[in-house]
Structure 1
Amino acid sequence: MTTPFRIWRRMTMPDLVRVHRYQSLPEQGPKVLFFSGGSALNKISRVFKQYSHHSVHLVTPFDSGGSSARLRAEFDIPAVGDLRSRLMALADETVMGQPEVYDLFTHRLAQEAKPQALKDQLNALVMGEHPLIVPIPNPMKALIQTQLAVTQSRIQEDFDLRGASIGNLIMAGGYLNNQQQLDPIVFLFSRLIKSLGEVKTTLDASLHLGVELENDDIVLGQHRITGKETCVLSSPIKRMWLNQGLRHVRPTNRFIATDRQDAIENADLICYPPGSFYSSVLANLLPEGVGRAICANPNPKVYLPNLGVDPEQRGLSLMSCIMRLVAVVSDDVNKSEAVDTGGTKAVPLLGSALDYVLLDDHYDYGDLDETQLDAMNITVIRTPLITDKPDKYDEKRVAQALLSFV
């Protein structure tokens, strides 16, 4: 029987000796787990793979906007756009990583082309005659054609292909071709592009987001929450839940799969990164079992807040964001403990919801109540994270700061 315990060490920020060691042997790098949804973390991920090939990215499948929305409406599938974009960020970009496959997966059909021209392009891809698919060797080429053929055969005649991501179309076909499960096609994608990290949805389920605002309005759908595809919300968000469908308020939830639980519990570091605060970061923490897995992990948990303006954070200070993040994790722990008292054996909670808030040393994030944070055993660390653009993190500095924790 093994007994887990914590080892404390003096930390240097950034720890360039440690960082250099990871950069020299990224195939032996630490398991850093990111809870994130959209594209905000893609640039950091692209740099992070230079230091570790073992990062884990749990992304939300709840998006309901953009080209993913058309595929969701057509097939009732989880959103695949964020999965595809994060896989591309982690792809091996050397010759060994098959750059032709990368080019195909990141290509979008023309936004202005006529419907028949777009159908012809999709057919050329299915037949293996499109210039983007011709140079891809078999058996990869045949596997891609198979998934695209499934999508082509299942879409309605009037399906809008304008601006469609080829990678999304391939993933949709793979989902439909694998008993409506995302994991098999994500695994295939990872192998095809030689992903230097692991990407999974938090839940393999076709659910949506719902929020209640401070003015008691109810809003359903990620695309209506972010303030990017529609108007900014009329009032701050009061609470959020997972919802079945977009037409009616039907709160639901699911337990995370065992492999997701294991990934969270065994990560060397857990990071809550920049991104839309509710629809990307907190949405990943909603599925049942996530909060308990986080608190069963004794290793560091770090929150790296947004820079600039996030429409979803209307009415929220940085201190409020920290408190809400901790509350969402704690809510799941409290529910799990209630279940445990019914007779199941509780897993010991060795860690907390949050240990560190990582901030740039000159950026104005607003006031923080560091006395209250101290009482919660949350430490604020300030270090240079911004270089040229005042509202953008420097990807290399962020990667090096995170790696200094492990």
Structure 2
Amino acid sequence: MNITRRLKLPDSVRLHRYKSLPEQGPKLLFFSGGSALNKISRVLKSYTHNSVHLVTPFDSGGSSAHLRNEFDMPAVGDLRSRLMALADETVLGQPEVYELFTYRFSKCANQEDLEDEFNNLVSGTHALIVPITDPMRSLIQTQLAVTKRRIGAQFELRGASIGNLIIAGGYLNNQQQLDPIVFLFSRLVKTLGQVKTVVDTSLHLGTHLESGETILGQHNLTGKETDPLQSPIQNIWLNDGLDDVCHASVSLSPDREADILDADLICFPPGSFFSSLVANLLPDGVATAIRSNPNPKVYIPNLGIDPEQLGWPLMKRVSWLASLQDKREINEKALDILLLDEHHNYGELDIARLERLGVEVIKTRLISSNANRYDEILVNEALLSMT
């Protein structure tokens, strides 16, 4: 039996109810890597404590790359930043831990000074460690000591995230599994939502361009650490390693599948289209779980220029997401709603094709005045009003 209701954006009654009792708020699920969703997440936690964030562990750039190269582990940078975005920032949370997790070593200091600072963190004498009380302080010191003991002499500490180093120690100390240490720290900093990697596996991204070139590694796609792509991405896959093309397959775990199936709304949010969004949809079982959830699936496109989207205008991206559905099961869709700002120009919209794909366009105010970015409050109000 299907029950329909008239959609109102924003729905002030629903929003008031959620904000009054966020502990019982709806379960919004986001497929997202990167930092694009962090500001939205900080607002979201005031409406619901039940959101789920599946982030990509396939990044290969930044400080995460040093840990991945050292320990052959999944990328944890996006995981750590989203945990902090959802952390309770009131006195009921752990503001001292928040400060520590978001701290980075200087990019300018010499290696000897950085090693001394690392030793002070491990010993508990660092200014950021001292205010943290036991047992949290001892737990953090233990994980940092594991990381310190296991890294090589040439490990690059400049710009390294302390939060990443703590999570890496927990990973190494828990039989190369991320979930136990992430769950523990989520409880200790009172994360108001759940954050998980979509899979707990150390793989990379492989892409084939229309020019015939093959590119391995997320860091080679974003245009941040290398030159922007000169040819559109033709297809993308999970790859074992960065040296040679080696297609890999990994399946969604039962708990992640349950998260997707149980969500009140699934959102494909703004962010790097391939390395943050599509990457999360590559493991076996993700598309099936999305299709099997009868609740709204919403795509919010990027604003501005995403180097990965070269040759991928809006309609092509929408068509790709819609193609996740099984043509044999016409009632199971992977995308229902294209959510757009009412005034922004996203490029050409083929309404007839969208109707054939079963995708409804909903336009509302998502961008605040005099800004070329999404307003965190407006986006949250629109999504929450659909649940």
TM-score by length of 2: 0.98
1:111 and 2:92 correspond: no
Change (3 A) 1:389 1:290: farther
The one of 91, 94, 106 equivalent to 2:90 is 94
Q: For residues 177 and 29 of structure 1, what CA distance do their matches in structure 2 show?
A: 34
Residue 224 (structure 2) aligns with: 228
Residue 169 (structure 2) aligns with: 173
1:65 and 2:64 correspond: no
The one of 48, 51, 67 equivalent to 1:52 is 48
Q: For residues 25 and 65 of structure 2, what CA distance do their matches in structure 1 show?
A: 36
Residue 344 (structure 2) aligns with: 363
Question: Percentage identity across aligned positions?
Answer: 63
Residues 7-406 of structure 1 mapped to structure 2, 5 A cutoff: 7-327=3-323, 329-330=324-325, 333=326, 351-406=332-387
> How far did residue 349 of structure 1 move?
8.7
Q: For residues 158 and 216 of structure 1, what CA distance do their matches in structure 2 show?
A: 36
Query: Is 42-51 or 386-395 further displaced after alignment?
Result: 386-395
> How far did residue 48 of structure 1 move?
0.6
> How far did residue 222 of structure 1 move?
0.1
Q: For residues 182 and 35 of structure 1, what CA distance do their matches in structure 2 show?
A: 18
Change (3 A) 1:368 1:198: same
**RMSD over equivalenced CA pairs, Å:** 1.2
Q: For residues 302 and 370 of structure 2, what CA distance do their matches in structure 1 show?
A: 14
Q: Secondary structure at the residue paired with 2:170?
A: helix
Structure 2 residue ranges without an equivalent (≥5): none
Query: Counterpart amino acid of 1:362?
Result: H
Q: For residues 255 and 75 of structure 1, what CA distance do their matches in structure 2 show?
A: 22
Change (3 A) 1:276 1:121: same
Q: For residues 27 and 130 of structure 1, what CA distance do their matches in structure 2 show?
A: 35
Q: Secondary structure at the residue paired with 1:57?
A: strand
> How far did residue 16 of structure 1 move?
1.4
Query: Counterpart amino acid of 2:236?
Result: M
Query: Counterpart amino acid of 1:312?
Result: E
CA contact (8 A) 1:299 1:351 kept: no
Q: For residues 3 and 142 of structure 2, what CA distance do their matches in structure 1 show?
A: 50
> How far did residue 369 of structure 1 move?
0.7
Q: Secondary structure at the residue paired with 1:33?
A: strand
Query: Is 8-17 or 255-264 further displaced after alignment?
Result: 8-17
Query: Is 247-256 or 387-396 further displaced after alignment?
Result: 387-396
Query: Counterpart amino acid of 1:53?
Result: H
> How far did residue 389 of structure 1 move?
4.7
Q: For residues 316 and 166 of structure 1, what CA distance do their matches in structure 2 show?
A: 37
Q: Secondary structure at the residue paired with 2:374?
A: coil
Change (3 A) 1:349 1:58: farther
Q: For residues 278 and 235 of structure 2, what CA distance do their matches in structure 1 show?
A: 11
CA contact (8 A) 2:265 2:297 kept: yes
CA contact (8 A) 2:63 2:160 kept: yes
Q: Secondary structure at the residue paired with 2:237?
A: strand
Change (3 A) 1:70 1:349: farther
CA contact (8 A) 2:322 2:357 kept: no
Q: Deviations over 1:9-55 (max 9, x none)?
A: 11101111111111111111000000001000000001111100000
Q: For residues 332 and 25 of structure 2, what CA distance do their matches in structure 1 show?
A: 22
CA contact (8 A) 1:13 1:401 kept: yes
Q: Secondary structure at the residue paired with 1:251?
A: coil
